[in-house]
């Protein structure tokens, strides 16, 4: 059998996968199914691929939790791998009989119809950054949840905390236990919640330190600190989501990637723009909009333009417009273009000083700097050398 110009659909699960081999026909509907495999153990992936596929075949997966890892294993065997957008692929109608074999065939036929776009497969560094950013988001949610549980428990017993009380401080539990008489069970609950909060805060601090170190060490990331309103988390999230900026030929495509472009509505002779739809990178879109709202409140190069939009369209739409401006500025900075949305030198100095604080004085001294100010001045010198 000729193993060339074939499409192999793979329905991958955490422990197993199903595969279907399709020969290209005149169209997706007429493509003939040559063979199928069901419930093959995932550790046997390489052996199965070597036996049933060739280097000229196209192996198609649907985007899932382990799709990128599976694709990387297949590329080691010199196989061509494409990953379909799971959201768009999921809109294709399901058969009355749904099992792994049918799903594998469906994935291959969707690829032949081109109804679902192919997902960009990130490199190892970008995947690592995405995992770090995802871990940070998770630990922030965990810390917020534990803090709210602690406050709720204190409120149930009419305990009010003084202004500036830090629940996440390691010694806070001793002060909490002294605020009133607690039963042994309630004291145990308080200690458990506080221990979890301190642990989450420590992991959050460690992740922030790692992200700050990477931003300050890499010129491509350091350059983005010049943009108005771009904080450490937003900057790192942008780099993790974008990956290779060359895959975006212009700034409009980058804005669409984050879901910041208005939807287009057209019917008959009528045409207009609608509201933002729930597509694109939602977490980064939210961070960019938060940055934009802050820019509308403080003096910066984008404030005057943003307030003018707010006067005409309202503050929420102005925030989205400023967020889109930031996204466009990110694309231009990565291309080495000169733009106007640059932080003032005093603000940039403050931003770099905060990044240095995230690293800690011991880390800075280990890199050969006596003080934080010396470290910041060195980074400012590097930023001044950029176009």
The pLDDT tens digits for 59-89 are 999 998 899 999 999 999 999 999 998 888 8
Question: Do 205 and 233 belong to one domain?
Answer: no
Question: Do 112 and 150 belong to one domain?
Answer: no
Specify whether the CB–CB gap between 343 and 351 falls below 8 A: yes
Q: What angle do CA 370, 376, 382 make, to 5 degrees?
A: 120
Question: Do 166 and 198 belong to one domain?
Answer: yes
Specify whether the CB–CB gap between 61 and 84 falls below 8 A: yes
pLDDT band at 2 (very low <50, low <70, confident <90, very high): very low
Residue 363 falls inside a structural domain: no
DSSP single-letter state for residue 162: P
Closest CA to 355 of 210, 248, 250, 197: 210
Question: Do 83 and 195 belong to one domain?
Answer: no
Choose the weakest-confidence range: 185-199, 260-274, 314-328, 371-385.
260-274
Neighbours of 68 (CB within 10 A): 20
Question: Do 101 and 139 belong to one domain?
Answer: no
Residue 3 pLDDT more than 60?
no
Residue 286 falls inside a structural domain: yes
What is the domain-level CATH number for residue 45? Answer: 3.30.420.10
Q: What is the pLDDT, as a whole number, of residue 169? A: 93
Across the chain, how many H-helices and E-strands are there?
A: 16, 8
In the predicted model, what is the mean pLDDT of residues 320-328? Answer: 92
Question: Do 186 and 238 belong to one domain?
Answer: no
Residue 367 falls inside a structural domain: no
Whole-model pTM: value is: 0.87
Question: Do 238 and 325 belong to one domain?
Answer: yes
Question: Do 229 and 243 belong to one domain?
Answer: yes
Question: Do 71 and 146 belong to one domain?
Answer: no
Q: How many domains does the chain have?
A: 3
Last-in-domain residue among 119, 147, 165: 119
In whole angstroms, how far apart are CA 158 and each of 153, 169, 179, 197?
9, 21, 10, 21
In whole angstroms, how far apart are CA 294 and each of 61, 230, 343?
41, 10, 14
Q: Which domain holds residue 152?
A: 124-216
């Amino acid at each position: 059998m000729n193993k060339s110009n074939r499409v192999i659909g793979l329905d991958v699960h955490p422990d197993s996968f199903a595969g279907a081999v399709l020969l290209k026909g005149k169209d997706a509907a007429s493509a003939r199914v040559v063979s199928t495999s069901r419930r093959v153990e995932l550790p046997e992936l390489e052996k199965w691929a070597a036996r049933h596929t060739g280097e000229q075949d196209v192996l198609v997966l649907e985007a899932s939790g382990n799709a990128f890892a599976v694709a990387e294993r297949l590329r080691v065997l010199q196989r061509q791998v494409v990953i379909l957008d799971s959201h768009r692929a999921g809109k294709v109608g399901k058969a009355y009989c749904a099992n792994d074999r049918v799903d594998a065939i469906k994935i291959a036929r969707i690829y032949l119809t081109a109804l679902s776009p192919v997902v960009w497969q990130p490199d190892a560094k970008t995947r690592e950054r995405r995992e770090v950013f995802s871990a940070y988001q998770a630990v922030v949610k965990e810390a917020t949840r534990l803090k709210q549980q602690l406050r709720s428990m204190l409120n149930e017993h009419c305990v009010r905390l003084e202004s500036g009380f830090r629940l996440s401080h390691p010694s806070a539990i001793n002060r909490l236990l002294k605020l009133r008489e607690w039963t042994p069970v309630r004291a145990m609950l308080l200690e458990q919640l506080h221990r979890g909060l301190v642990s989450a805060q420590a992991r959050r601090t460690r992740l922030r330190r790692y992200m700050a170190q990477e931003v300050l060490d890499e010129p491509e990331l350091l350059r983005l600190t010049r943009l108005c309103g771009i904080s450490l988390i937003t900057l790192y999230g942008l780099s993790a989501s974008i990956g290779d900026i060359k895959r975006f030929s212009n700034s409009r495509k980058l804005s669409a990637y984050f879901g910041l472009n208005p939807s287009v509505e057209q019917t008959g002779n009528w045409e207009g723009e609608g509201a933002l739809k729930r597509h694109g990178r939602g977490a980064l879109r939210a961070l960019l909009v938060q940055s934009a709202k802050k820019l509308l409140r403080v003096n910066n190069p984008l404030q005057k333009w943003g307030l003018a939009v707010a006067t005409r369209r309202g503050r929420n739409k102005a925030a989205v417009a400023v967020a889109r401006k930031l996204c466009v500025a990110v694309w231009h900075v990565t291309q080495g273009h000169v733009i106007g949305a640059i932080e003032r030198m005093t603000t940039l100095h403050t931003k770099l000083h905060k990044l240095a604080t995230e690293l800690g004085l011991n880390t800075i001294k280990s890199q050969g700097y006596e003080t934080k100010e010396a470290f910041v001045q060195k980074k400012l010198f590097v930023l001044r050398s950029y176009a």
